[in-house]
Each structure stands twice: as C-alpha cells, then as structure tokens.
Amino acid sequence: MNIRDLKTLDKTIWLAIIVAALGYFVDIYDLLLFSIVRVSSLKGIGVPDDQIFAKGVLLINVQMAGLLTGGVIWGILGDKKGRLSVLFGSIVMYSLANLLNAGVTEVWQYAALRFIAGIGLAGELGAGITLVTEILPQRLRGYGTAFVASIGLLGAVFGGLVGDLFSWRVAFVIGGLLGFLILLLRVGVRESGMFSRAREKGVHRGKVSVLFRNARTFGRYFGVILIGVPIWFVIGIVMTFTPEFAKALGMAELPSAGKAVMFAYIGLSIGDLLAGLLSQFFESRKKAIFVYMIMTSVVFVLYLHYAGQSLATYYAFCGVLGVCIGYWALFVTVGAEQFGTNIRSTVATTVPNFVRGAVIPMTMAFQFLMAGSDAIHSGIIVGSVTMVIALISLWKLPETFHKDLDYHEA
C-alpha cells in the first residue's frame, strides 16, 4: 500500500480528514491571533503603554491555563462520549469566544474569554488526529495526520495576514465565523468505528488512572510529552525572544518576533508534511523523528553562528528551524498509537497541551540563566538539556508504525 491508495479511500474518510485539517487551521489561527494583535487590541481598550507588556503576559498565561484545562476535559470527553463530541464542542466554544472577544472593553473580559477560548482550542488537534488514525488503514496513517497538520499550521500564516489587513476586532470576528463555517462541514462526518465498537462492548473509557497504573505505562505517556518539548523550545524560546537573541548576535536592526513566528510556522507546515512522508518511507515513526531532532540541533548551532548577518538571513533561519521542528503531528500520532482506543483521545489531546505548557519551566530557566549571561549561552543550555532528554525518551519509546490500534488498555 502506498500514497496512490489514498485515491481509493471512501468519500466519508476524506471528509473527516479535510474537516480535521480545517478545524486545526482555525485552531492555530486563534491560538496565535492574540500574539499578533496583542499590542493593538490592548491599546484599543485603553491599556496604558507602560502596562501593555504586563497585561499581555497575563492574557497569554490565562489562555495557556485554558489550554491545559481543556486538554484534560476534551481528552476524557473524547474517550467517554466520542471523537465527534470533541470536534463539535470545542469548535463551538472557541468560535463563540472569538466573536465575543471582538467586543471586549475591559481587561477582565478579555482574560475571561481567552481562558474560554483556550479550553476550546485544546480539543481540536488531539480529537482530529485520534479520529484520522482510527479511520485510516495502518499504512496510510502517516499521510493522513501529515495532511491535517500541514494544512492546519497554515492558520498561523493566515492569522498574520489578517492581523496586518484588518483591525483586531475584525480579526476575532473572522476567526469566529470560520469556526462556525467548519462546524457546518462536520455534520456529515462519521464517528470512529473503533470507538463505536468499544462503546457497544461496554469498555470502560476515559479512565485517566490507566495512565498511572504502573511505571511502564506512565513512562510511555511522559516519554511522548518529552519528545515534543524541543518543538516548543524553538517556538516558545528562540522565536518568542527573537529581539534578545538578535541583540546577542550583534544585529543592528532587530527582527520582529511576530515575523519570526510566522516564518517558523510556514516552515512547520512544510516540515510536518515531509515528516509524515518520511515516516512512511522509513516505515518508522521513531526514525523520522530522530532525523528531525538531529536536524534541529545542527540548524540551531548554525543559527547561533550565522543568523545575525542580516534580517533576511535571520528570517530564513526561522523558516528552516520551523521545517526542522516539523514533527509536531508525527509526535501526536505517536502518542495516539501508543495507547488503546479507550484512552487514546485522552493521550492525544493532553500530550500537545502539556508540551505547550512546558514553555513555562523553559521560560523560567531561560530567564534565570539570562540574569548572569546572554540569550545565546542561556539558549544553548536550555536547548541542549531539552534535546538530550527528548532523544533519550525517543529511544525508550516502542515503535508504533505497524501497530494495530483496535485494542483496549486493561
């Protein structure tokens, strides 16, 4: 079976893949929209210039708290009630939050809606990847999840364009309307057959304690989280602190963090598609992820030596680093494939959100090291520790490419 077999898939399977991809597109659009319109929106509701940074950090942390909370809620719900319940419920929640966000006039309103939006956003990728891995034949799973992620991550690019062309209020309205449009497309999507059979058999589903029943099971779960952390080291540290890195590199004209993130996400979209194809070529998820980790390490070293030559060079390195960390969908797929149908949604939904949450300790470590050094040396230490732990975790994880997913965790 090869990529040509995609043409023979039933139309309902294609619909599920496309709808999952478009849902993730809107998910990423909204996830990054606040970062894009942070300054203009806070100024628009009367926040003084000297409070923009503090209020922005507050809102980002509130949204992150929503993501972590939602990851657990939607993951369990997806295993108990079905994958479609998450795909419908999550998009309704963040679409409504976006529409209401367009009318905020106070910081507390903004914060409340970012928390709600964060909860909604947390369900999209995990539910979509879970559904796609369960409805596709084993040898086509990598193609399906790569398609979902590569299309979805273009939402960051679209968000950047919308943020430049429209006011921040209109940008939130566009996000809300896109969500409800995709909701209409989801009406024709079928539930996963694996989940339906598990429900008919009365299998206990969504029992989080299964993940902690022994060290081996928890090790698999925690190991999947750790292999994804380098992705958010690049996004949450290198791209977010672009001005600090650029200054340490000796650049006279400092690049924009917003543009750095946009170029990184363009690279991520390309990288995710290639990662899926590479895993199919190797017939191994682990080999593909290992290649990407090594590429990330090499390009990061080159970035520290050569990215400061010019703005164009800097942004080019951001794009290449984005390609190198483009195993985002692949690592979520590995998480989904590690566990049985009765707990799969919980794993696939919580894992990416806990990886996003790992930005908090990484940022704390980076800022602590920055007190006595510069961005380059602080980044080397944090990045090296992150990558070494990720490589050890990848080595310990079982290969899942040929795994039959129609089973349950006892």
Domain end marker among 189, 207, 225: 207
Q: Domain residues for 160?
A: 1-207
Residues 6+ apart with CB under 8 A from 230: 293, 296, 325, 383, 386, 387, 390
pLDDT at 228: 95
Q: Are residues 288 and 199 both part of a single domain?
A: no
Q: Are residues 103 and 223 both part of a single domain?
A: no
- The H or E element that residue 61 is part of is helix 52-80
Q: Are residues 169 and 155 both part of a single domain?
A: yes
Q: What is the CATH number of the domain that holds 307?
A: 1.20.1250.20
* DSSP H helices in 81-192: 83-101, 107-121, 124-135, 141-152, 154-165, 168-185
Instruction: Indicate if the pLDDT at residue 8 is higher than 80.
Output: no
Query: What's the angle, vertex CA 326, arms to CA 184 and CA 315, rounded to 5?
Result: 105
Q: Are residues 117 and 74 both part of a single domain?
A: yes
Q: How confident is the model at residue 3 (pLDDT cuts 50, 70, 90)?
A: low
For the chain, the domain total comes to 2
Domain end marker among 207, 232, 261: 207
Residue-wise pLDDT for 80-123, tens only, equals 888 888 888 888 999 999 999 999 999 999 999 999 999 998 88
Q: Are residues 225 and 197 both part of a single domain?
A: no
> Is there a domain that residue 271 lies in?
yes
Nearest in space to 132 (alpha carbons), one of 9, 224, 16, 26 = 16
Instruction: Indicate if the pLDDT at residue 293 is higher than 90.
Output: yes
Q: Are residues 316 and 362 both part of a single domain?
A: yes
Q: Are residues 243 and 195 both part of a single domain?
A: no
pTM of the model as a whole: 0.84
Domain end marker among 207, 226, 258: 207
Instruction: Indicate if the pLDDT at residue 279 is higher than 50.
Output: yes
The structure tokens 């209409």 sit at 184
Q: Are residues 362 and 319 both part of a single domain?
A: yes
The predicted model gives 51-61 an average pLDDT of: 80
Q: Are residues 306 and 251 both part of a single domain?
A: yes
> Is there a domain that residue 349 lies in?
no
Average pLDDT of the chain, as a whole number = 87
Residue-wise pLDDT for 132-172, tens only, equals 888 888 778 878 877 887 788 778 778 878 888 899 999 99
Residue-wise pLDDT for 334-369, tens only, equals 998 998 888 888 998 899 888 988 888 888 888 889
User: Helix, strand, coil shares of the chain as percentages rounded to 5?
Assistant: 80, 0, 20
Q: What is the DSSP letter of 192?
A: P
Q: Are residues 185 and 74 both part of a single domain?
A: yes
pLDDT at 1: 45
State phi, psi for 398 to the nearest 5 degrees: -70, 150
Query: What's the angle, vertex CA 198, arms to CA 225 and CA 200, rounded to 5?
Result: 155
Residue-wise pLDDT for 302-324, tens only, equals 999 999 999 999 999 999 999 99
Instruction: Give dist(CA 90, CA 30) in Å, integer.
Output: 13
